[in-house]
Amino acid sequence: MALRDILILPDKRLRQVSKPVAKIDSAVKKLVEDMFETMYDAPGIGLAAIQIGEPRRVVTMDLSKKEDEKQPQVFINPEIVAESDEKSAHEEGCLSIPEYYEEVERPAVVTVKYLDLDGKVQQVEATGLLAVCIQHEIDHLNGVLFIDHISKLKRDRVTKKFIKAAKLAAKDAAE
């Protein structure tokens, strides 16, 4: 396992659309291990492979509380096959947009079809935090960030803040 760097806004790779996984081989399993190590270290509850610079349709999640036993989940090539008309709003954050949180409205219930690590087709009806998290991570696979679901004014403000921080960091690194 290896700890990987998480891409931070405004990194353009976060806008890439990830490619489907054709075969679940040792490289994919190693990627999943690295993703869990990185996600737990961050700490976060979900991570899309693109967030560590791998444009592949792989998502890791663990919604367990810190004091509880870990419940790692892997979604390979996940796709939303149904969603409710009913909406639900939750405060979201993102490891690629650190320390920024905003309320986002999404479908309250989604049905997601995906492959597990054994390559078997699975389907889950997600509600609550699972629904929010899986939609957030699938958005990443499609080059969409949670800030794309908020007002243009707020999105522009946070984007400018992260562009400025990236320029400062580059300047400091050059000195």
pLDDT of the residue at 67: 84
Distance CA 175, CA 172 (A): 5
Question: CA 20 → CA 60, 71, 138, distances in Å?
Answer: 15, 24, 12
**Res 98: pLDDT:** 95
Residue 65 confidence (pLDDT): 87
Give mean pLDDT, residues 37-48: 96
The secondary structure element, H or E, covering residue 160 is helix 152-174
Q: Which of 83, 102, 137, 175 is catalytic?
A: 137
What letter represents residue 25's amino acid? D
pLDDT of residue 105: 97
The pLDDT tens digits for 103-132 are 999 999 999 999 999 999 999 999 999 999
Tokens coding 111:
């049905």
Torsions phi, psi for 25 (to 5 deg): -115, -170
Q: What is the pLDDT of residues 137-173, one digit of tens each?
A: 999 999 999 999 999 999 999 999 999 988 888 888 8
What is the structure's pLDDT at 46?
98
Residue 86 appears among annotated catalytic residues: no
Residue 77 one-letter amino acid: N
Q: Residue holding tokens 């050059």?
A: 174
The domain spans of the chain are: 12-174
The whole-model pTM stands at: 0.95
Residue 70 predicted with pLDDT over 90: yes
The token pair at 67 is 């004091």
Assign domain 12-174 one CATH number from 3.40.50.2300, 3.30.70.20, 3.40.1190.20, 3.90.45.10.
3.90.45.10
Confidence class for position 45, pLDDT limits 50, 70, 90: very high
Residue 115's pLDDT is 98
Q: Would you call 50 helix, strand, or coil by DSSP?
A: helix
pLDDT in tens, 71-92: 999 999 999 999 999 999 999 9
Q: What phi and psi values does residue 115 have, to the nearest 5 degrees? A: -105, 145
The answer to whether 92 and 134 are in contact (CB under 8 A) is no
pLDDT at residue number 30: 97
Is the distance from CB of 100 to CB of 93 less than 8 angstroms?
Answer: yes
Which residues are 124's β-sheet partners? Answer: 112
Secondary structure of the chain: what % helix, strand, coil (to 5)? 35, 30, 35
Residue with tokens 């810190």, as numbered in its chain: 66
Give pLDDT, residue 169. Answer: 84
